[in-house]
């Protein structure tokens, strides 16, 4: 099923999978699960709700192996695991983690009952790069643990799962890299933009507004870079972290904004395999740090189907709408 970037964030990585199971540790905001812009702030409120939590240390867990490689973790089983617990199993030997850094981490989930491995990102080399160490987005307790650590550190977090199987486990993260996290597009401003396209104006914080400028859609996908970032090109198989706003125009040519990550105060992450065709086609090949204007015809958007708010039933995007998006590509992995 094709879904909107506002509807679902990827659950492919370890931390996101834990969040999707209702066990989000608050390291990063994970997945809105929303079907409307009005309700999609739930992830931000959920991640801040435990900001005052205090993490206690876990005793009796050790790890051996070369820092930065998959560790061998040992503990006596069965083990009682509680939420909001942690243990630094291995000190890192790389760069020091600072405010505003984006971290990539490999992870293992180990069953507290018998020590068996429930999940691992190491074998397929699919690290989670959604963690941004920031006072504004990371809960206080986790911020204090992560900031000041060094790359290649291994940290275990306790998760006391409340699902029907009651599978409590240790989530063991090894931080394998750090980069300065982007909060908006950064790069060279594109100057040779066709004059007949809609005009984009940016607020001081980077939030875009749109003026149709008399533009009349012709049923073709338009992909127009506005800022050219100097990062790697996005692949169609990747997960993208982005700030974006989206609009449609009614029959009188009036623009209506139906979604904006800027209004929610946090970027959104999504797999390009799970978004509408216009997003996947339009963002594939663009570079990290870029800002892109997408004009998406109905056949690459939602076609002849109304999009409705799952709570109220109100139509949020009418059928056969051309969609207009301004997307800041912050990261891809």
Among 18-27, 54-63, 220-229, which is the least confidently predicted range? 18-27
pLDDT at site 130:
86
**274-298 confidence digits (pLDDT tens):** 999 999 999 999 999 999 999 999 9
pLDDT at site 272:
96
For 156, the 3-state DSSP assignment is strand
Average pLDDT over the chain reads: 85
In the predicted structure, residue 232 carries a pLDDT above the cut 60: yes
Between these two residues, 5 and 145, which has the higher pLDDT value? Answer: 145
Q: pTM score, two decimals?
A: 0.77
**159-191 confidence digits (pLDDT tens):** 887 666 678 999 999 999 999 999 999 999 999
53 pLDDT tier (thresholds 50, 70, 90): low
- Among 86-100, 124-138, 157-171, top mean pLDDT goes to 86-100
Structure tokens that stand for 251 in this block: 């029959």
In the predicted structure, residue 48 carries a pLDDT above the cut 70: no
Q: Say which DSSP state 35 is in.
A: S
Structure tokens that stand for 102 in this block: 């984006």
Task: Locate the DSSP E strands across the chain.
Answer: 56-57, 62-64, 72-74, 85-90, 101-111, 117-120, 128-133, 154-159, 169-180, 188-189, 199-202, 208-211, 222-228, 239-249, 255-260, 268-271, 291-296, 307-308, 315-317, 323-332
Please name each of the domains of the chain with its CATH number. Answer: 50-180 (3.10.50.40), 188-332 (3.10.50.40)
In the predicted structure, residue 300 carries a pLDDT above the cut 60: yes
Contact 26, 50 (CB under 8 A): yes
pLDDT at site 164:
61
pLDDT at site 33:
33
In the predicted structure, residue 12 carries a pLDDT above the cut 50: no
54 pLDDT tier (thresholds 50, 70, 90): confident
- Among 75-84, 135-144, 312-321, top mean pLDDT goes to 312-321
Pairing of strands 117-120, 101-111: antiparallel
pLDDT at site 293:
98
- Cα–Cα distances in angstroms (integers) from residue 194 to residues 198, 215, 300, in the given order: 9, 11, 22
pLDDT at site 2:
33
Largest alpha-carbon pair distance within the chain? Answer: 69
In the predicted structure, residue 87 carries a pLDDT above the cut 60: yes
In the predicted structure, residue 117 carries a pLDDT above the cut 90: yes
Between these two residues, 28 and 169, which has the higher pLDDT value? Answer: 169
In the predicted structure, residue 26 carries a pLDDT above the cut 60: no
pLDDT at site 317:
97
**241-269 confidence digits (pLDDT tens):** 999 999 999 989 999 999 999 999 889 99
pLDDT at site 163:
61
């Amino acid at each position: 099923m094709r879904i909107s970037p506002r509807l679902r964030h990827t659950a492919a990585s370890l931390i996101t999978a834990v969040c999707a199971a209702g066990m989000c540790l608050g390291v990063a905001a994970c997945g809105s699960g929303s079907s409307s812009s009005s309700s999609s702030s739930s992830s931000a409120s959920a991640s801040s709700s435990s900001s005052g939590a205090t993490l206690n240390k876990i005793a009796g867990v050790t790890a051996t192996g070369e820092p930065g490689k998959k560790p061998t973790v040992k503990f006596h089983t069965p083990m009682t695991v509680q939420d909001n617990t942690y243990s630094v199993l291995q000190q890192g030997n790389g760069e020091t983690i600072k405010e505003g850094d984006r971290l990539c981490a490999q992870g293992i989930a180990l069953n507290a009952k018998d020590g068996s491995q429930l999940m691992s990102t190491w074998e397929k080399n699919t690290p989670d790069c959604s963690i941004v160490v920031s006072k504004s987005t990371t809960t206080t307790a986790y911020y204090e643990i992560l900031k000041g650590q060094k790359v290649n550190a291994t940290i275990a977090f306790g998760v006391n799962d409340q699902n029907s199987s009651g599978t409590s486990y240790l989530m063991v993260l090894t931080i394998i890299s750090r980069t300065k996290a982007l909060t908006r597009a950064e790069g060279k401003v594109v100057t040779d933009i066709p004059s007949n396209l809609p005009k984009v104006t940016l607020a001081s914080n980077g939030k875009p507004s749109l003026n149709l400028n008399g533009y009349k859609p012709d049923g073709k996908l338009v992909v127009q870079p506005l800022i050219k970032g100097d990062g790697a090109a996005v692949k169609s198989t990747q997960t993208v972290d982005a700030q974006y706003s989206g609009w449609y125009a009614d029959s009188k040519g009036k623009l209506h904004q139906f979604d904006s990550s800027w209004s929610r105060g946090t970027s959104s992450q999504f797999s390009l395999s799970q978004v509408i065709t216009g997003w996947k086609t339009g963002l594939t090949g663009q570079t990290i740090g870029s800002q892109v204007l997408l004009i998406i015809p109905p056949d690459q958007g939602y076609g002849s189907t109304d999009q409705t708010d799952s709570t109220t039933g109100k139509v949020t995007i009418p059928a056969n709408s051309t969609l207009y998006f301004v997307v800041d590509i912050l990261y891809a992995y």
